[in-house]
Amino acid sequence: MDVPVQQFTTKAEQDLLDLFEHAADALPGDAAIAAMRKSAIQTYAGLGLPHRRVEEWKYTDLRGALDSIPPLLAEADAAVSDADLETAIGKAFMALPAYRLVIAAGEFRADLSDVEGLRKAGVEVAPLAQMLESPPAWLTASLKEAGGCGEDVVIALNTALMTAGVAVRLPEGLTLQKPIHLIHLDAPGKAGSIYTRNAVVAEEGASATLIESFGTFGVSGIQRNVVTTVSLAAKSAIHHLKLQREALETIHLNVWVANVGADARYNAFHVSTGAALARNQVYVRFDGENAATDISGATLARGTQHCDTTLVVEHNVPACESRELFKLVLNDEARGVFQGKIVVAPDAQKTDGKQMSQALLLSETAEFDSKPELEIYADDVVCGHGATSGQIDEELLFYLRARGLPEAEARALLIQAFVGEAFEALDDETIADAFTAVAAEWLGTPAE
């Protein structure tokens, strides 16, 4: 490789470089995509894996968490049934009326997906690997948008090694009546690395709901890196939802990048209950005035799980609104991290930005780290942030028990009430019920 390479200190760091060098010739894409991949791996080679001395990763030591890197997982004929899908993502999510797109064992599965249904509805959609061979201009632009997030190692590695994924374009004025449900799952008995890239482009006035669900059925040892870029033209709207309930051995790295045009709306919501280490990064950039974003979610973790949510919202133009609300419930020795930054550029007057993270600690050994930030270079703005952590209110617990509720049921009720505020962001009752069922399953209580 004809670039200076950082002196790597761990086997995993060198494994990633070797992984690219061994796979590069077989990765999908034309000459321009190959050049993009090479540039991305050069970025990684100059940085290495992030660790606690990297400010954005001070609470999540990715370099320390990865001992080695398994080979790329790409198994086109992995046996997957509807029962497997239900095991992986849950009965409630399988029952959602939606256009289903499935990525299993690192490969897009046309046989499990409703590509034709989406096309009949007016959506341009295809497997990413197929479109990389001769990418249209809109896809190339979408791929490059992730590069605007600075030197992000997760994005760089994803760009270098992306294989599976989907490319979706919503034409001008289209309102999709059913959600797109993008299901990511693993193959039974397999371990490996999966690099997925999704690109969603909403042209002027288009609107849709995109659900991403991540699950497993009997797999361990998966290291997943997935990046989804969402480009919103003027007056468009995307509701972007995520369920992450992967195996407790999984390493899950996820990045969402949204560029929001004038009068557009990007709403994002996620629930995370799985993985040994999960990091969810969300980058939102306002490119047009009078736009809005609402980003919320809940993390439910126990054992020794480590769950990190990192947000950066860039107000680059005037008169935009952002709201962020995240709830964390942490038990045993679980660790939750929330980092949220609102950046207001000098010209972004009339910005309205608010951010809140709250953690409920169910044990004395659970840990919550919060780093809210405001970076404001304009005068006429309304911005604020906050963070709280605490334990279950013993007076409320006593009140419920005094009225005949068993202690476990009373605790579950209080936890549901705590996370419920984040779930209010879901305005579709069927989808809200599906997410509520996941929370109820984690709590060990029946969904209402």
Could you report the per-residue pLDDT of 16-72, keeping only the tens digit for each? 999 999 999 999 999 999 999 999 999 999 999 999 999 999 999 999 999 999 999
Predicted local distance difference test score (pLDDT) of residue 207: 99
Packing angle, helices 429-443 and 407-423, rounded to 10: 150
Contact yes or no for 258/291 (Cβ under 8 A):
no
Alpha helices in 176-309 (DSSP H): none
Q: Rounded to 5 degrees, what are φ and ψ at 120?
A: -65, -30
Query: C-alpha distances in angstroms, 424 versus 180, 218, 412, 432?
Result: 21, 32, 18, 8
Cβ atoms < 10 Å from Cβ of 397: 17
Averaged pLDDT for residues 426-439: 94
Tell me, what DSSP letter sits at residue 72?
B
Mean pLDDT of the chain: 93
Could you read off the pLDDT of 108-134 as tens digits, one per residue? 999 999 999 999 999 999 999 999 999
Tell me, what DSSP letter sits at residue 52?
T
Which pLDDT band, with edges at 50, 70 and 90, does 229 fall under? Answer: very high
Which DSSP string corresponds to 349-402? TTEEEEEEEEEEE-STT-EEEEEEEEEE--SSEEEEEEEEEE---HHHHHHHHH
Could you read off the pLDDT of 121-176 as tens digits, one per residue? 999 999 999 999 999 999 999 999 887 777 899 999 999 999 999 999 999 999 99
Give the bridge partners for 374, in sequence order. Answer: 342
Which pLDDT band, with edges at 50, 70 and 90, does 5 fall under? Answer: low
Q: Check pLDDT > 70 for residue 301.
A: yes
Contact yes or no for 208/176 (Cβ under 8 A):
yes
**Can you tell me the distance from the alpha carbon of 167 to that of 115, in angstroms, rounded to the nearest whole number?**
11
Q: Kind and range of the H or E element at 99?
A: strand 99-104
Could you read off the pLDDT of 413-425 as tens digits, one per residue? 999 999 999 999 8
Q: Which of 433, 425, 336 is nearest to 388 (CA)?
A: 336
**Can you tell me the distance from the alpha carbon of 99 to that of 162, in angstroms, rounded to the nearest whole number?**
23
